[in-house]
Structure 1
């Protein structure tokens, strides 16, 4: 059976081992107010600090003046954050900070424990600020859950891509974040990632198809978990013989060739693949561990140590970089700077 299930995504994506969670945010933010937030008059009626109304065109999430997620802890897994449109500002307890967006990808291993914040500044004061983000939680095997936290940027300009035509001459654009597709190989994963071993077949890619284009996923293995999320398009795509609408995700066989045919409008899909880790998973809130004991220890350690504490001053909420910062990544309290 090539298609195991097809589900509409109204919250977290229904994905599984080696993935823990898949979140998709698309917010049609208005023009900025000069202070990287929306006009305060637009905040009337919003549940500031906990704004998750799925019916709204845009959300503040846990932000109060700037949308986003003020600092919070994690332990035991890796986070892949793809900002396809708009910008995100990053700060963490290990002394890293940065701004990335418009196609950039951040890889961050929480490892033994880290605090991080991710806010979404509205940098354009003359036009709307559309924002599109994927956040994928990729589990760490038990042996790597207590490794040193790690973080690096994959700048949009440097992410491997492929542009080719199908057998009918239709154009397909491919952007490979992890793994390898059609001979396009991703940059090196984080050193303790499940993706570091090619035998684990971890693949994350974005595919853009012109009308009528046909994209094929090769058979890999019987144990592979494979998902295709159709996230942007006004038509439908066909996964094998099943017509799928926007915001639906397909759970697919890993040992079968899968044929995806686009409809009559441009379409964008996200591919998630990987061999399962096949270890116990105990997840609650921001922690993903291998036993109930480890999970309780994570909460206790955080209460006791705050994973090293928050080094960025008294401001805990809505912390962002200066408006004119541009895209950058700073490591170890500005001792190393990386720019596109």
Structure 2
């Protein structure tokens, strides 16, 4: 069966090895209040834990600015794809930055890191929509205690492929990990499961014009493969299956999948990869192989705070100045990166 399952997302995406968690945030934030928070009343919200799925927008764990103030991770890799809006990043290794509007961040938590990811609202006279995916991808046991790592994929440098259909319509593929239509991604992080091409890890965004099609080739029946139709005004056909916006599909990695779009536009994310095949012990922000390793991780974090938070404990909603552009700074400014800088 080419399509193993179709479902509607409630909370996170129903993904599995080598992936741990996949979430899709879409928030229609209003204009800002001048201080990068929403110019709207926060009365009635669960400030510090605002996850109301029925609301137009959420504060998450932020109190004045939406987002996720600093918190720990260990044992896995995080891929954050920001289609709309901005994210401000700070971490305990001395890195900080602002990215968004199509940028992608890759961060390996490795042996342990603290990071904050806040959503600054920079428009005081217009809405501040936010749309992002965050994918947690596991690390194999040999890599779980490696040095944390972080890099930016600026939207201007993410490899793309364009497929012209016979009707003149176009399918644009943004290749974040892996290879699609002969186009390879930027190199993964050094200790990533995606580093070995035999693991067939792929993450791609598809933008399909009306009445176009795209073929996912057969790769391996052992590979886990997923497709999420997250935006657009069309109907997709996955061979004999019909798929409307908001549906999530688990696909057979060993079968060719022909994706045919209907009369409107369609935006799709593809996730795929060979399973790591190791035991998973996950709780909260840590992903290890055994319960004992989890207990040791919590004990070490309580004892060391993974080196501590170097940016000042008083600022929970820590962000860059409002006028800041997109940038990345590593090791307290020893290395700087931006969309304008050549690799």
Aligned pairs (5 A) from 1:46-125 = 46-125=45-124
Q: Using the alignment, how far apart are the partners of 1:14 and 1:66 within structure 2? A: 29
Secondary structure of the 2:79 match is: strand
Deviations 1:73-121 (A, max 9, x none): 0000000000010000000000000000000000000000000000000
Structure 2 counterpart of 1:2: 2
8 Å CA contact 1:230–1:268 kept in 2: the answer is yes
Q: In the TM superposition, what are the counterparts of 1:1-340 in structure 2 within 5 Å?
A: 1-39=1-39, 41-340=40-339
- Deviation of 1:10 (Å): 1.7
The answer as to whether partners of 1:170 and 1:214 remain within 8 angstroms in 2 is no
Give the match's secondary structure for 1:255: coil
Q: Which runs of 5+ in 2 are unaligned?
A: none
Distance in 2 of aligned mates of 1:259 and 1:315: 53
What is the deviation of 1:168? Answer: 4.0
SS, match of residue 300 in structure 2: helix
| 1:185 Cα deviation after fit | 0.6
**Worse overlay, 310-319 or 8-17:** 310-319
* CA deviation vs aligned residue, 1:121-152 (integer Å, no higher than 9, x gap): 00011110110010000000000000000000
Q: Partners in 2 of 1:247 and 1:116 — Cα distance?
A: 30
Q: Confirm or deny: 8 A CA contact 1:174 1:205 kept in the other structure.
A: yes
Partners of 2:284 and 2:237 in 1: how far apart? 35
**1:315: Cα distance to partner?**
2.6
Shift of 1:313: 1.1
Q: Distance in 2 between matches of 1:179 and 1:29?
A: 33
8 Å contact kept, 1:71–1:316: no
TM-score computed with the length of structure 1 as normaliser: 0.98
Superposition RMSD in Å = 0.8
Shift of residue 167, structure 1, vs aligned partner: 4.2
- Structure-2-length-normalised TM-score: 0.97
Residues 22-59 of structure 1: CA deviation (Å, up to 9, x unaligned): 000000010111111112x4212111111001010100
Moved over 4 A (4+): none
Q: In the aligned structure 2, how far is the partner of 1:244 from the partner of 1:298?
A: 42
Paired residues, number:
339
